[in-house]
């Protein structure tokens, strides 16, 4: 269970950073960056996470990218989730009133300044709830690390089941453990959403 938590938190942190950068690329005035952002998002979003994980672990080792299974999982989960974060943040950016960016431009801010100081802080507020959904989905997705025998919740349950041959209590216990993880994070994001909501 600790592994699941650690995997989730580190991957989510990575995904937030990369996803925000990619979202910035996608709305930037520089065409090559926009294209690169779009390719990143479409490629990662439309490939099954399982394929990505296996490709990274078994394929990329052939070109010298070899990491422990845990690190590989974080890289793959982070990259996959960043595509969804990018799309969410982008929708948040689009939801920020146009006048905000126009006003910022009128006082002479450059694009990175407009985005970083004016638009992004407002964008994040509006997308707290969808980001929470992404976080919960990621918590569940970390179970896929079980296929490369990272000892997280699902893998532990699978091994316990093999050892004890009592599938119902074992898998039910694992399911409850996931609930214990996802329900509080749902509440936490709900709280955060109310806290940062823009009062009108």
Residues that bind another protein (CB under 8 A): 27-36, 38, 42-43, 45-52, 54-55, 58-60, 62-64, 93-94, 98, 101, 105, 111, 114-115, 119, 140-144, 146-147, 153-154, 157-158, 161, 165, 167-168, 171, 174-175, 178-179, 182-183
Identify which of residues 98 and 199 has a Cβ nearer to another protein in the complex. Answer: 98
Q: CA 14 to CA 81: how far, in whole Å?
A: 9
CB of 17 to another protein, least distance (A): 19
What are the CB-based long-range contacts (under 8 Å, 24+) for 55-59?
A: 57/148
Locate all alpha helices (DSSP H) within 55-119, ordered by sequence.
69-95, 98-106, 111-113
CB of 53 to another protein, least distance (A): 10
Length of the chain: 200
At 75, phi and psi to the nearest 5? -60, -45
Answer yes or no: are the C-beta atoms of 4 and 156 closer than 8 Å.
no
Identify which of residues 10 and 100 has a Cβ nearer to another protein in the complex. Answer: 100
Identify which of residues 63 and 195 has a Cβ nearer to another protein in the complex. Answer: 63
Identify which of residues 17 and 103 has a Cβ nearer to another protein in the complex. Answer: 103
Identify which of residues 19 and 142 has a Cβ nearer to another protein in the complex. Answer: 142
Task: Name the burial class of residue 58, with classes exposed (0-12), middle (13-18) and buried (19+) by CB atoms within 10 angstroms of its CB.
Answer: exposed
CB of 3 to another protein, least distance (A): 14
Q: CA 143 to CA 153: how far, in whole Å?
A: 7
């Amino acid at each position: 269970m600790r592994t699941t938590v650690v995997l989730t938190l580190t991957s989510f942190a990575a995904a937030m950073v990369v996803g925000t950068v990619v979202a910035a690329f996608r709305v930037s005035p520089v065409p090559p960056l926009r294209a690169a952002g779009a390719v990143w998002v479409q490629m990662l979003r439309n490939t099954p996470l399982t394929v990505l994980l296996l490709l990274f672990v078994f394929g990329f080792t052939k070109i010298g990218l070899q990491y422990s299974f845990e690190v590989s999982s974080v890289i793959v989960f982070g990259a996959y989730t960043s595509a969804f974060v990018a799309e969410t943040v982008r929708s948040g950016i689009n939801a920020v009133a146009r006048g905000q960016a126009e006003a910022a431009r009128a006082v002479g801010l450059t694009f990175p300044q407009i985005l970083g100081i004016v638009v992004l802080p407002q964008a994040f507020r509006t997308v707290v709830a969808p980001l929470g959904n992404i976080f919960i989905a990621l918590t569940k997705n970390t179970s896929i690390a079980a296929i490369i025998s990272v000892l997280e919740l699902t893998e532990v349950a699978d091994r316990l089941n093999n050892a004890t041959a009592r599938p119902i209590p074992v898998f039910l216990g694992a399911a409850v453990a996931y609930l214990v993880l996802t329900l509080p994070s749902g509440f936490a994001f709900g709280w955060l959403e109310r806290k940062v909501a823009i009062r009108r």
